[in-house]
Structure 1
Amino acid sequence: MITIQLKFFASLREALGAEQALSLPAGSSISAARAALVARGEPFAGKLAQGRAVRAALNQQLAEESALLSDGDELAFFPPVTGG
């Protein structure tokens, strides 16, 4: 098992809170972390469901959902940023 620190930003922070820890099996990906959160039910299911526009950063670097997690990693979720 590994334990990662989760952070949420912008509208996700308002709905899900600032940060928390998550334990997952070793070798888990960002996608697996997201699925574990969705499995908790609302409000996670509504905000992080597959198909929702959500970006991820692993240890403060943008990352693909296939990126593997290690014990102690920081995983942040945030909505895409638009500008004008």
Structure 2
Amino acid sequence: MKNTREDWHPADIIAAIRKKGSTLTALSRDSGLGASTLSNTLSRRWPKGELIIATMIGVPAWEIWPSRYYNANGELVVPKLRPPKAEA
């Protein structure tokens, strides 16, 4: 079974964040990132950023970016995130 679902359009992702009362810039800053860091997630695969956005919107990342989470056989492939670094 091949994945036939399309990724959300970046404008739809931004609109969903706005509907939740925030902006991509504010979400980046609230996550301890640079102001424009999460915008990279709209065009490139970055599981950590995808998780931050998906959590904010309340939709699983694989529903927002199916092309990034389903293999050629249509099977869901969820990447393992590295645990946060311990603070010294």
TM-score relative to the length of structure 2: 0.29
Task: Decide which structure has the larger Cα Rg and report it.
Answer: 2
Q: Higher strand proportion, which one? A: 1
Higher relative contact order (CA 8 A, sep 6+): 1
